[in-house]
């Protein structure tokens, strides 16, 4: 067991404990995840994902890995982009989230391969995918550097990693954003999902996630040759794009 420390929200825990604690959160929120996303973001999460899907460098027949794919929003979009001749894998480390996403896609008539997969130890060969995406999942990973290196490994030369994640909001908005995150968000979690603690963690995990420039450097350190990012909604979220040459 590792004695290395990491953060779980604002708590300091052993690295060996974090995955289990994060798993408890997402087992708890899985059934209400889509509803809460709409409520928390005012529907903006759909705009952020739409932008990600439609600006990605991807062609028909491409191979895509959707990491921490949750309820399948990006996977659905990738499937439309690559067509029947393409290949899209929906993966998540959390069985409850993966089941919700798989069932939701099946109900829509979309059959995709799924895998219960740890982003730090991906069960895929080197140089396989044209595109790897992770939306609102990187911040929950224990060893983000290891996960980013795995994403780099499974990408083909010329492939792209897209990381859509909450980031550092523009300075003038910080007081209002803090009020929303630490007062209103847990209250909504309690009222809608009957789970204030999980949404308190989610708010804290956003604050502990690296800011735009720090994440850019982490992706470069993982091996990506070029990295840039695009802020959305005044920095509430950022889309990072890393290219492997």
How many whole angstroms separate alpha carbon 227 and alpha carbon 219? 7
Residue 30 annotated in ligand binding: no
Residue 19 annotated as binding site: no
Instruction: State yes or no: 147 annotated in a binding site.
Output: no
- Is 221 known to sit in a ligand binding site? no
- Which backbone phi and psi does 7 adopt, to 5 degrees? -110, 145
In this structure, the strands spanning 87-92 and 155-166 are unpaired
Q: What is the C-alpha R_g of the chain?
A: 17
Structure tokens at 50: 């739409």
Closest residue by Cα to residue 92 from 113, 78, 77, 61: 113
The end-to-end CA distance of the chain, in Å, is 36
Q: Residues annotated as binding site?
A: 71, 92, 118-119
Residue stretches of the annotated binding site for S-adenosyl-L-methionine: 71, 92, 118-119
């Amino acid at each position: 067991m590792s004695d290395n420390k990491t953060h779980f929200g604002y708590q300091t825990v052993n690295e060996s404990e974090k995955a289990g604690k994060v798993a408890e959160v997402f087992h708890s929120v899985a059934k209400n995840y889509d509803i809460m996303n709409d409520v928390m973001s005012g529907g903006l999460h759909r705009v952020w994902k739409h932008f990600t899907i439609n600006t990605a460098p991807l062609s028909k027949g491409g191979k895509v890995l959707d990491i921490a794919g949750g309820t399948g929003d990006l996977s659905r979009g990738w499937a439309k982009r690559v067509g029947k001749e393409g290949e899209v894998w929906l993966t998540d480390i959390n069985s409850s989230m993966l089941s919700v996403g798989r069932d939701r896609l099946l109900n829509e008539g979309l059959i995709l391969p799924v895998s219960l997969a740890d982003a730090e130890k991906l069960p895929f060969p080197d140089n396989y995918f044209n595109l790897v995406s992770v939306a609102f999942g990187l911040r929950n990973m224990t060893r983000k550097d290891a996960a980013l290196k795995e994403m780099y490994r499974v990408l083909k030369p010329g492939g792209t990693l897209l990381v859509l994640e909450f980031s550092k909001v523009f300075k003038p908005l910080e007081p209002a954003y803090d009020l929303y995150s630490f007062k209103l968000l847990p209250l909504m979690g309690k009222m809608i999902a009957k789970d204030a603690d999980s949404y308190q963690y989610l708010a804290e995990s956003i604050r502990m996630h690296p800011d735009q420039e720090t994440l850019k450097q982490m992706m470069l350190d993982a091996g990506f040759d070029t990295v840039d990012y695009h802020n959305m909604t005044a920095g509430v979220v950022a889309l990072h794009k890393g290219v492997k040459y």
